[in-house]
Amino acid sequence: MKRDMDLVRELLLKIENATDKPSWRALAPQGDETEIQRVIGHIRLLDEAGLIRGVKSIHGGSDIPENIELTWKGHEFLNDVRDLVIWGKTKERAKAIAVSVWVTGSLETPPTSSESGELRTISAH
């Protein structure tokens, strides 16, 4: 599954605006099994990232949160991406940036000329 940041934003907004703590069923579209699985996958990603929390239930052989609410980190992330104009500009800039990365196993310090590695260009999506 490819992470879809528009879906992440949409799910966080739905969770924040819900009158009760929603289940994954309330957040997933009805009928289209492929889309349901995509939403479930993203709910799991949000949970793993610490943006949401909920009581775990078993679906499809693995845990998925029910009674979902935003964590402090989820609220902070949502505040950063709430405005649609800013969100659009952020996505445009991210797509336009190409970053040259020297792959050495660590990005903390730049490699020296004696270190072996491979130069790759990675574009942000």
In three-state secondary structure terms, 79 is helix
Q: Please state, in angstroms and rounded to a whole number, the distance separating the CA atoms of residues 54 and 95.
A: 33
Q: Please state, in angstroms and rounded to a whole number, the distance separating the CA atoms of residues 89 and 75.
A: 20
The pLDDT value given to residue 63 = 77
Going from the N-terminus, what domains does the chain have, and what CATH number goes with each?
A: 5-80 (1.10.10.10), 95-123 (no CATH)
The pLDDT value given to residue 125 = 46
Element housing 62 (H / E): strand 62-70
Residue pLDDT, tens place only, 53-74 = 988 777 666 677 889 999 999 9
Model confidence at 100: pLDDT above 70: no
- What percent of the chain is helix, strand and coil (3-state, nearest 5)? 45, 25, 30
Assessment of whether the complete model's pTM goes beyond 0.75: no
Q: Please state, in angstroms and rounded to a whole number, the distance separating the CA atoms of residues 12 and 109.
A: 35
Q: Please state, in angstroms and rounded to a whole number, the distance separating the CA atoms of residues 32 and 54.
A: 24
How many residues are recorded in the chain? 125
